[in-house]
Amino acid sequence: MFAELCCTSNFTFLTGASHPEEYVTRAHSLGYAGLGLTDEASVSGAVRAHLASQTLNLPLIHGARFRLDDQLELTLLAPSRNAWGELGQLISLARRRSPKGSYQLTRRDFIGQTDTLLCLWHPNPQSLDWTTQLESLSYAFRGRLWITAHLPESGHQAEFAERIDLAAFEWNLPVVASQRPIMHVRQRLKLQHTLTAIRLGAPILEIADQLERSSERTLMDHQGLLQRYPKPWLHESLNILDRFDFSLADLRYEYPKEICPPQYSDEHIFLKDLVLEGANQRWPNGIPPDISQLIEKELSLIQEMKYACYFLTVHDIVAFARSQGILCQGRGSAANSVVCYCLFITEVDPSRVSVLFERFVSKERNEPPDIDVDFEHHRRDEVIQYIYRKYSKERAALAAAVITYKKRSAIRDVGKALNLPLDLIEALSGSLAWWDKKDAMLDRFAELGINPQGPQIRLLTELVTDIVGFPRHLTQHVGGFVISQGPLSELCPIENTAMEDRTCMQWDKDDIDALG
């Protein structure tokens, strides 16, 4: 039995050549005891892997890989809820001090901030002296440090293994084997080369010395692992796996509570007072009996589901916007709520239309409400900065949006990686209705005077098919904010966006919804 602890997915953008779900499925089919998803300074693929692992009942380990400026490379694993919080804070620290798309860590950052994380050190075979790195890591991760043995097939494999054995003896450290996969199957090597070329902005033929040379950085079957690594190194992965007692299902979100004034001991009482105050403004001649019944019904369900702080938070943001003369309007399913109407979040009068609150909040669905509020575009940033001022960037961030490859962008990027003529790339990407149908595709190639059976065109077709749907980068959601009671980075890491004074989580709205 074996657990691969160091998988790099396509959420290490333009490096990993497999989806998180593909790793989970492949590891399960190979009979692995568990799997670790450890993208570079990122947990953006964690929820996808989590959902897949739950379906297949495969133990999943969460972590992240880091490269430091001094060539130190390591993977940190989160065996507990506290360790997950440490990991999120460390990634946030590294990302927040750097421009979008990059990060920066120093060895000092590990001191006092990684008390429960496990560390897998990746020795560099080209380095002649490992002493400095081992000294600092042994101090920062006392009792929680392993040497990772990745033995690619080469003429220096035995020599490297001997150096690892010697270092393990001298520093009294355990050794764990890892293939350090960047793809779930070896057939993805061409795609991985293409991703590398796109990342470096150069054709594949011009960067041959920077390409992954072996197709073995994949999930290997047990026979192959036994031929490559000593049994104790393989078994150590199970010892590490046994230390884990954490799942993303353990995460619990808490709404911010300071929205409730100190004179109120209960946020629901405050919400009820605001709703009744608003109802009297909406119906100055008296609240109709049927509306009063609706208000009581909705407030009762809101109290039962513990959503009062959510409604209060949205009310506060809308109240700020209105106080500044910023046009705003609630929309969507929130229009089915008389509470939202009384809080002046929406403008749909429930006495004039038929409303059904269950479309908005349902005990049976057990899903949190989703209130969409549109703010006038050119003043939206005023609202965003108000949220940051009120809750701080430690507790508030925009949700992410994952930008994925579509056919047009895939053809352009893959075409450039294959060094195809630019005019041909533009011609191919100019009309995409033909791409999904093979006969139409052949006709389109013929129209352009191209042999569809030519090796470059066949390779282009294969690679574009593979890369469509791959994540390209993260951007910010158009307006989806997450605000928490405690540090948000302990739930999910936060990073800078391309826009000044804005931050976003590493999870998108679907990830957040999936975790409830």
Residue 235 pLDDT exceeds 80: yes
Q: What is the rounded distance in angstroms from the CA atom of residue 456 to the CA atom of residue 452?
A: 9
Using an 8 Å Cβ cutoff, are 268 and 276 in contact?
no
In this prediction the pTM is 0.93
- Does residue 275 fall inside a structural domain? yes
CB 198 within 8 A of CB 135: no
pLDDT tens by residue, 451-510? 878 888 889 989 999 999 999 999 998 778 999 999 999 999 999 999 988 999 999 999
Higher pLDDT, 391 or 360: 391
Q: What is the mean pLDDT of residues 375-395?
A: 94
Kindly indicate the confidence band of residue 427, based on its pLDDT and cuts at 50, 70 and 90: confident
> In this model, does residue 27 exceed pLDDT 60?
yes
* Rounded average pLDDT over 258-286: 94
Q: Please tell me the predicted confidence (pLDDT) of residue 369.
A: 78
pLDDT for the residue 436: 64
3-state SS string for 293-346 = HHHHHHHHHHHHHCCHHHHHHHHHHHHHHHHCCCCEEEEHHHHHCHHHHHCCCC
Q: Which residue has the higher pLDDT, 358 or 269?
A: 269
Indicate whether 335 belongs to any domain: yes
CA distance 236 to 104: 30
What's the pLDDT score for residue 349? Answer: 83
Query: Could you report the per-residue pLDDT of 118-160, keeping only the tens digit for each?
Result: 999 999 998 989 999 999 999 999 999 999 999 988 767 889 9
What are the DSSP calls for 12-44, one per residue? STTT--S-HHHHHHHHHHTT-SEEEEEEET--T
Rounded mean pLDDT, 334-362: 78
pLDDT band, very low/low/confident/very high, at 69 (cuts 50, 70, 90): confident
| pLDDT of 212 above 70 | yes
Does residue 271 sit within a domain?
A: yes
| Percent above pLDDT 70 for the chain | 94
453 in a structural domain? no
Q: For 402-417, what is each residue's pLDDT tens digit?
A: 999 998 899 999 999 9
3-class secondary structure, 120: strand
Please return the burial class of 87, using the count of CB atoms within 10 Å of its CB with bins 0-12, 13-18 and 19+.
buried
Q: Do the domain assignments include residue 311?
A: yes
Q: Is the pLDDT of residue 429 over 70?
A: yes
SS3 421: coil
In whole angstroms, what is the distance from residue 327 CA to residue 374 CA?
8
Q: Report yes or no: 400 and 506 within 8 Å, Cβ to Cβ.
A: yes
Beta partners for residue 74, in sequence order: 66, 121
Rounded to whole angstroms, how far apart are CA atoms 476 and 385?
A: 15
Instruction: Give the helix/strand (H/E) hosting 287.
Output: none
What values do phi and psi take at 16, rounded to 5?
-70, 140
Residue 92: pLDDT above 90? Answer: yes
Taking 60 as the threshold, does the pLDDT of residue 438 lie above it? no
Residue bearing the bigger pLDDT, 213 or 279 = 279
Q: Is the pLDDT of residue 442 over 70?
A: no
Arithmetic mean of pLDDT, 26-47: 99
Question: Quick one: average pLDDT of 243-268?
Answer: 92
Nearest to 218 by CA among 53, 27, 380: 27
Is 186's pLDDT higher than 90? yes
Residue 446 lies in a domain: no
Q: How large is the average pLDDT for residues 355-361? A: 66
What phi and psi, each to the nearest 5 degrees, are found at residue 480? -80, 105
Q: Is the pLDDT of residue 3 over 90?
A: yes
Q: Is there a domain that residue 293 lies in?
A: yes
In the predicted model, is pLDDT for residue 181 greater than 60? yes
| pLDDT value, residue 359 | 65
Q: Both tokens of residue 314?
A: 């949205």
Q: Does residue 366 belong to any structural domain of this protein? A: yes
Instruction: State residue 502's pLDDT score.
Output: 94
Mean pLDDT, all residues of the chain: 92
What distance in Å separates the CA atoms of residue 195 and residue 10, rounded to the nearest whole number? 10
The alpha-helical segments, DSSP class H, found in 431-498 are: 438-447, 455-467
Mean pLDDT over 91-98 rounds to 97
Per cent of the chain over pLDDT 90 is 76
pLDDT > 70? residue 231: yes
Q: Residue 433: left if φ>0, alpha if ψ -120 to 50, beta else—which one?
A: alpha
* pLDDT computed for residue 302 by the predictor: 92
DSSP assignments along 143-156, one per residue = T-EEEEE---SSTT
> Binning pLDDT at 50, 70 and 90, where does residue 434 land?
low
Rg of the chain over Cα atoms, rounded to whole angstroms, equals 27
Which domain does 388 fall in, by range?
Answer: 267-392
Stretch 224-247: mean pLDDT: 98
Q: What pLDDT was estimated at residue 461?
A: 87
Say whether 62 sits in a helix, a strand or coil.
strand
- 468 close to 410: Cβ distance less than 8 angstroms: yes
Please give the pLDDT value at position 155. 66
Give how many domains the chain has, as a whole number: 1
**Which residue in this structure is represented by tokens 């400026």?**
69
Average pLDDT over residues 382-397: 95
Residue 435 has pLDDT above 70, yes or no: no
